Amino acid sequence: MAAAIAATEAGLKPLVIDENAAAGGQIYRRSPPALRGDRRSPRSSPNGAKAALLQRFDSHRDRVELLTGTTAWAVFPPRRLAVTDGTSSKTIEPEHLVLATGAYEYLPPFPGWTLPGVMTPGGAQAMVKTMHVRPGRRAVVAGTGPFLLVVAEQLRRAGMEVAGVVELAGTHEAIVALPGLLQHPTLLWEGMRLLYRLRRAGIPVHRGQVLIEARGNGEVQEAVVAPCDNAGQPDRSRARTLAVDTICAGYGFVPRTALAQLAGCKLRFEEALGGWVPEVNSDLQTSVPGVWVAGDGGGVAGAVVAELQGTLVGLAVAHDQGALTQAAFRSRREPIVRRLRRMEHFRDVLDRLHRIRPGLVDLASAETVACRCEEVTRSEIEIGIAAGATDLRTLKVMTRLGMGPCQGNMCWPATSRLLAARTGKPVEAVGPSGVRPPIVPLCLGALCPTGPGQPEEDSP
Amino acid sequence: VSASPDVIVVGGGVIGCAVAFELARRSVRVMLLDKSLPGRATSASAGGLWPVGEAVGLGCGVIYHASRKEVDPSDAANAVGPTPLPDVFRDFLIASNALFAPLAGELKEQTGIDIEFAPGAGLLFLVFDERERCFAESVCRSLPPGLRLDYLSPHEVRQVEPRLTGKLLGAALLTGEHQVNPMLLAEAFKRAAVKHGCVFRPDTRTTALRRSGDRVVGVEVGQQFYSCGTVVNAAGSWAGRLAATIGLELPVEPVRGQIVLTETLPKILNACLSSASCYLAQKAHGEVLIGSTTEHAGFDVSVTPEAIGALCRGAVQAVPMLRHVRIKRTWAGLRPGTPDELPILGAVKGVSGYFNAAGGFRTGVVASPLTGRVVAQVVCGEQPCVNVVPFSQDRFAASNGSAITPHSSTPAGAAVSEP
């Protein structure tokens, strides 16, 4: 939205494509029209400050072409975008393609993680925020990062009992990080306010602890939590159980780079940004001219950075198109770059505090399913690695890991860390998972137009 | 580090692995060098074991022909399909195909890998119009005694394959034409080779061959040199580039094939299907593989929306229920194509210590067991179990003298350039 606003204000008429029914993405997600204004259903409060972007976008609507309910299923190099509305498909070839694809949650496998009742914090958030449904009665929110606090508070507001927040990073580390976080007092204040609210509601935040297992008969009944060291290694002798029916678990985010990969953009590995990210120049143009990336899809850094980056890309595209003079571009670019730079140190400290720790690799037991699409267990992967399948391709052939519909999106971030640990290579040497179109489910029929001039078929 | 190997096999696709396996079981000290490059044909093959079908032009042949027909409409009046490949190659494929049943058991025993050799109803060529019927009937007539292609009525076709469209005029059935999982086949050959003492080096890109006079003495991997007595070139679509590093003119060109793979489905197909626009094979895990284009696009392994769309339309035309099925992924592979569509095997006149196992084109998988065997036999100086002379590289050199150019000692570091 920010990129479209900036481009529009410079006089361009951008086309915005969104897979949801309305623009807004994950952060400013809107309910389906049928659910709006239903005051009886549980909901979190609308955030006034954040609603500003939505309002600005809406006020530019007449100058933006908006395609909602439309999903990009491929980019054919360099910039030919294929989109589908579910029943048909078409390609669009813009002069500039801005990828603002966001991120998905990182969840390394742990015993019981496939039980109904285990979900990611983002999944739970979407349920209460968008669909106005409580995922259960009593939840624990576990993993790492400030997002856990946000979701715990939203669940509480939605009327759920929250048994606690389980945070991988220890208290001592959090205190050491505090001065660095003062770089961005507003965000720190927001975090403090969240903590205060949780505390007032009697929701404990267990720091330096890790969720090691979900238990239950057919659905979640208990969460097993243990204290851990700085490497994330749990002390199983001190494990205890929490009686819950909902477990929200997430360890930060992984950038969605599939479209950038299909466009042929070069990637680099940056642990602090969530893993593999497209290489970009100072205006966020990728290695493929005319392909730009803004927001978490280019490296996880949160909503504030995403909006600034979106504005920057919108201006840069407008400048490239000749809609902004060099001087106008510079003067508008400067304050954004300054704000982005100020965020950098804050992000560094936060990313370090909430880093992915090596102990997470060993949460899974032999029977734990590692690849949910193809139901490949941890022990099958270990056997494959031991037999010499030490690269992605061979491991896929041998175990079918990543051969399912998600193409390894879900399992590869965790499996690549396992492979790195077992082979002694750095994670970046193991490589990103490959991407092949379509990146979202697409029926054959969407590519087979019917009607006059088309060959007739039988009714199925 | 052990002493240098007797034989280095360059290329860990299905052909290179098969050759390494056959050499290793003959107690030859063999090293297999592999660098998995985008587009390797083994990873994009349907795994169809259609020896007669491919020899008479069903499968990719007929699709290729149909695509050329669009360019030259005057050609269309006469035939739908291509001319059949020579009998000597058809017989080679039939002999190779016959090795699969025992091989599947042997590889399973030695490596634990199931190559998913799946005998089904056969290969069914779908006939939608009169021209296709003429083609199918001419193929029937061209087969020698002992090989059968049954022409089925629409009613009979639906009995074999109930999900097929009712709009067929009929179909030609080649029984005994099955499928396998090509990637597992290659992996099993490789593991079995290693079990017999083969040294496997993954992630190792052979940049050049090295020769001394008329003798090939080893291979270069960047700055490293691997010395050996004999080199087998099994570098797939890259074999021509590799041969060029010692001045050999090996006419192998990548022929791109785009494919579509559906989501996992319950068993819906009993046979492998082939039509003028695509072929379909349901794999062991339930996905339906829809192939394949035949394009000269260099080493470009992109897929194109046009080609994917055409394959999907062809598949839906044949099996209408697929309209509602999801595509899991699409990708492209590079067949190692040769001018006469035949492989290039064995020794080359005027150069020693060098053997080809190249040009597998669209039959590399079905040809791999016998290719591995005969190449190992000629490397070991044994009498090959089938005549390989028709597949010699020298067939291309007949008109312009020696295959090897006189003053082509390779400068150090002359690399096979990046695709």
The ipTM value here is 0.90
Per-residue pLDDT tens over the stretch B214-259: 999 999 999 999 999 999 999 999 999 999 999 999 999 999 999 9
Distance of alpha carbon A80 from alpha carbon A73, whole angstroms: 11
Q: What's chain A's average pLDDT?
A: 92
Length of chain B: 419
Residue of B268, B316, B325 to mutate, interface with A, max A Cβ within 10 Å: B316
Tokens 């490789």 correspond to what residue? B190
Quote the minimal CA–CA distance from A68 to chain B in Å.
21
Average pLDDT over residues B330-348: 96
Give yes or no for a contact between B288 and B273, defined as CB atoms under 8 angstroms apart: no
Asked whether residue B408 carries a pLDDT value surpassing 50, the answer given is no
Question: Alpha-carbon torsion A342, A345, A349, A351, what sign?
Answer: positive
Confidence of residue A30 (pLDDT cuts 50, 70, 90): confident
Q: Looking at the complex, report in whole angstroms how far the Cα of residue B166 sits from the nearest Cα belonging to chain A.
A: 7
Mean local confidence (pLDDT), B41-47: 90
Q: Evaluate whether B190 touches B200 at the Cβ level (below 8 Å).
A: yes
Confidence check: pLDDT of A195 > 70 = yes
| A460 contact residues in B (CB cutoff 8 A) | 320-321, 323-324
Is A443 in Cβ contact with B326 (below 8 Å)? yes
Smallest Cα distance from B231 to chain A, Å: 25
Dihedral (CA of B320, B323, B325, B331) sign: positive
Test A444 with B316 for CB contact under 8 angstroms: yes
What are the φ/ψ torsions at residue A10 (nearest 5 degrees)? -85, 0
* A-B C-beta contacts closer than 8 Å: 99
**Which has the minimum average pLDDT: A22-31, A191-200, A284-293, A338-347?**
A22-31
Give SS3 for A243: strand
Residue A53 CA from chain centroid, whole number: 20
pLDDT reported for residue A309: 98
Most A-contacting residue of B328, B330, B331 (CB-CB within 10 A), to test interface: B328
pLDDT at A43: 43
Is B238:B17 a contact under the CB 8 Å cutoff? no
**What CA–CA distance (Å, rounded) separates B7 from B186?**
19
Would you state the pLDDT for residue B137? 87
To which H or E segment does residue A97 belong?
strand A97-99
Q: Is the pLDDT of residue B407 over 90?
A: no
At B256, is the secondary structure helix, strand, or coil? strand
Q: Which residue has the tokens 């009613």?
A: B155
Radius of gyration of the CA atoms of chain B, in A: 21
Instruction: Give the pLDDT band of residue A398 (cuts 50, 70, 90).
Output: confident
Q: How far is A89 from chain B (nearest CA, A)?
A: 10
Residues in contact with A424: Cβ distance below 8 Å, sequence separation at least 6, in sequence order:
none
The token pair that represents A1 in the structure block: 């939205």
Whether the CB-CB separation of A411 and A371 falls below 8 Å is answered with: yes
Partner-chain contact B329 A391, CB within 8 Å: no
- Picking from A125-129, A452-456, B51-55, B204-208, which range would have the lowest pLDDT averaged per residue? A452-456
- Please judge whether A74 and B323 are an interchain contact, meaning their C-beta atoms are less than 8 angstroms apart: no
Cβ atoms within 10 Å of A342's Cβ, excluding its own: 11
pLDDT of A455 over the 60 cut: no
Residues belonging to chain A with any Cβ–Cβ distance to chain B shorter than 8 Å:
74, 76-77, 80, 82, 89, 91, 387-388, 390-391, 393-394, 397-398, 400, 403-405, 407, 436-438, 441-445, 447-448, 455-460
Q: What is the mean pLDDT of residues A6-13?
A: 96
Model confidence at A391, pLDDT cuts 50, 70, 90, reads confident
Q: What percent of chain B has pLDDT over 90?
A: 78
Report the distance separating Cα A164 and Cα A203, nearest Å: 5
Find chain B residues with C-beta within 8 A of A445's C-beta. Answer: 316, 323-324
Nearest CA in chain B to A406: B328
Mean pLDDT value of segment B51-55: 91
Least CB–CB distance from B331: residue in A403, A405, A436? A436
Tokens of A15: 């086309």
A397 vs B301: which has the higher pLDDT: B301
**Bridge partners, A205 (sequence order):** A165
Cα four-point dihedral sign B408, B414, B415, B419: negative
Q: Shortest CA distance to A316 belongs to which of A339, A295, A293?
A: A293
Residue that the structure tokens 């742990």 belong to? A110
The angle formed by the CA atoms of residues B78, B293 and A446, to the nearest 5 degrees, is: 110
Secondary structure (DSSP) of B193-236? HHHTT-EEETT----EEEEETTEEEEEEETTEEEE-SEEEE--G
pLDDT at B417 over 60: no
Indicate yes or no: CB of B330 within 8 angstroms of CB of A76: no
**Pair B50, B121: CB distance under 8 Å:** no
In angstroms, the Cα distances linking A323 to A113, A150, A307, A326, A329 are 51, 40, 21, 10, 9
Query: SS3 sequence, A156-191?
Result: HHCCCEEEEEEECCCHHHHHHHHHHHCCCHHHHHHH
Q: What is the pLDDT of residue B411?
A: 37
Q: Note the pLDDT tens digit of each residue in A144-169.
A: 999 999 999 999 999 999 999 999 99
